[in-house]
Amino acid sequence: MVYSNKENVNILTSLLVAHGVSHAVLCPGSRNAPIVHNLVTCPDIDCFSVTDERSAGFYALGMAQATLSPVAVCVTSGTALLNLLPAVAEAYYQHVPLVVISADRPPQWIDQLDGQTLPQQDALGRFVRKAVSLPEPHNEEEHWFCNRLVNEALLAARQRGDGPVHINVPLTEPLYEFTVDSLPDERMITYAAPCVDKRLITECAGMFWKASRPMVIVGQSSKEKLIADDFEEISGFAVVLNEALSIGCGACHFDELLCQEQLPDDLVPDFLLYIGDTLVSRRMKQFLRKLPKDVPVWAISEDGAVHDTFKSLCGVIEGHPADAIASLGDLAPMKRRRGTSPFFDRWDEFLAETDEKIEDFTPGYSQMAAVKCLEEMLDGDDDFVTHYANSMSVRLANIYACHYVFCNRGVNGIEGSLSTAAGFSLVTDQTVYCVLGDLSFFYDSNALWNEDLRGNLRILLLNNGGGGIFEKFEGLQGSAARERFVMAKHHTSAEGICQSYQVAYRAVHNMEELEEGIYWLRQDQDERPMLLEVFTDSANDAKILKAYYDRFRG
Ligand SMILES: Cc1ncc(C[n+]2csc(CCOP(=O)(O)OP(=O)(O)O)c2C)c(N)n1
Ligand SMILES: [Mg+2]
Give residue 478's region: left, alpha or beta (phi > 0; psi -120 to 50).
alpha
pLDDT at 217: 95
Q: Is the CB of 390 under 6 A from ligand 1?
A: yes
Q: What is the pLDDT of residues 525-543, one digit of tens each?
A: 779 999 999 999 999 999 9
Average pLDDT, the chain: 94
User: What spacing in Å lies between the alpha carbon of 367 and ligand 2's midpoint?
Assistant: 9
Residue to mutate (ligand 1; options 54, 282, 391, 536; most atoms within 8 A of CB): 391
Residues 6+ apart with CB under 8 A from 397: 244, 251, 371, 375, 386, 388, 405, 407, 435
pLDDT at 407: 98
| Torsion 242-406-359-283 (CA) sign | positive
User: What spacing in Å lies between the alpha carbon of 51 and ligand 1's midpoint?
Assistant: 24
Q: Residues within 5 Å of ion ligand 2 by Cβ?
A: 437-438, 464, 468
d(CA 493, CA 501): 14
d(CA 407, CA 343): 31
Nearest 5°: the CA angle 280, 538, 364 is: 90
Kindly report the backbone phi and psi dihedral angles of residue 48, in degrees, each rounded to the nearest multiple of 5, phi listed first.
Answer: -130, 140
Q: Is the CB of 410 under 6 A from ligand 1?
A: no
pLDDT at 106: 94
Q: Give the end-to-end CA distance of the chain in Å, rounded to a whole number.
A: 71
Query: What ligand is nearest to the CA atom of residue 367?
Result: 1
User: What spacing in Å lies between the alpha carbon of 541 and ligand 2's midpoint?
Assistant: 10
User: What spacing in Å lies between the alpha carbon of 464 and ligand 2's midpoint?
Assistant: 5
Q: Is the CB of 85 under 6 A from ligand 1?
A: no
Q: What is the pLDDT of residues 150-165, one digit of tens each?
A: 999 999 999 999 999 9
Q: Which atom of ligand 1 is nearest to the CA of 440?
A: 15
Q: Is the CB of 164 under 6 A from ligand 1?
A: no
d(CA 491, CA 186): 56
pLDDT at 232: 74
Q: Is the CB of 398 under 6 A from ligand 1?
A: no
d(CA 305, CA 227): 19
pLDDT at 376: 96
The residue contributing the CA closest to ligand 1 atom 1 is 413
The residue contributing the CA closest to ligand 1 atom 8 is 391
User: What spacing in Å lies between the alpha carbon of 488 and ligand 1's midpoint?
Assistant: 9
Strand ranges inside 374-424, DSSP E: 384-388, 405-406
Q: Is the CB of 464 under 6 A from ligand 1?
A: yes
The residue contributing the CA closest to ligand 1 atom 10 is 467
Residue to mutate (ligand 1; options 407, 442, 469; most atoms within 8 A of CB): 469
Distance of CA 276 to the CA centre of its chain: 12
Nearest to 468 by CA among 481, 452, 486, 454: 486
The residue contributing the CA closest to ligand 1 atom 23 is 467
Residues 6+ apart with CB under 8 A from 52: 27, 83, 446, 449
User: What spacing in Å lies between the alpha carbon of 268 and ligand 1's midpoint?
Assistant: 33
Cβ 349 vs Cβ 239: under 8 Å: no
d(CA 95, CA 221): 9
The residue contributing the CA closest to ligand 1 atom 22 is 467
Query: What ligand is nearest to the CA atom of residue 441?
Result: 1
| pTM, entire model | 0.97
Q: Is the CB of 17 under 6 A from ligand 1?
A: no
Residues 6+ apart with CB under 8 A from 224: 246, 247, 248, 404
Q: Is the CB of 162 under 6 A from ligand 1?
A: no
Max Cα-Cα span within the chain: 75
pLDDT at 329: 82
Q: Which atom of ligand 1 is nearest to the CA of 470?
A: 19
- Per-residue pLDDT in tens (0 to 9) along the chain, 554 residues: 799 999 999 999 999 999 999 999 999 999 999 999 999 999 999 999 999 999 999 999 999 999 999 999 999 999 999 999 999 999 999 999 999 999 999 999 999 988 888 999 999 999 999 999 999 999 999 999 999 999 999 999 999 999 999 999 999 999 999 999 999 999 999 999 888 877 778 999 999 989 999 999 999 998 776 676 777 777 778 999 999 999 888 889 999 999 987 788 889 999 999 999 999 999 999 999 999 999 999 999 999 999 999 999 999 999 888 888 888 888 888 655 666 788 999 999 999 999 999 999 999 999 999 999 999 999 988 899 999 999 999 999 999 999 999 999 999 999 999 999 999 999 999 999 999 999 999 999 999 999 999 999 999 999 999 999 999 999 999 999 999 999 999 999 999 999 999 999 999 999 999 999 999 999 867 799 999 999 999 999 999 999 999 999 87
> Within 10 Å of residue 469's Cβ, how many Cβ atoms?
21
Residue to mutate (ligand 1; options 440, 483, 534; most atoms within 8 A of CB): 440
One-letter amino acid of 498: C
Query: What ligand is nearest to the CA atom of residue 390?
Result: 1
Q: What is the pLDDT of residues 411-460, one digit of tens each?
A: 999 999 999 999 999 999 999 999 999 999 999 999 999 999 999 999 99
Alpha helix ranges (H) inside 221-266: 224-227, 231-234, 254-257
Q: What is the pLDDT of residues 39-50, one digit of tens each?
A: 999 999 999 999
Residues 6+ apart with CB under 8 A from 262: none
Residue 282 CA neighbour count, 13 Å, CB half: 2
The residue contributing the CA closest to ligand 1 atom 12 is 467
Q: Is the CB of 414 under 6 A from ligand 1?
A: yes
User: What spacing in Å lies between the alpha carbon of 92 and ligand 1's midpoint?
Assistant: 20
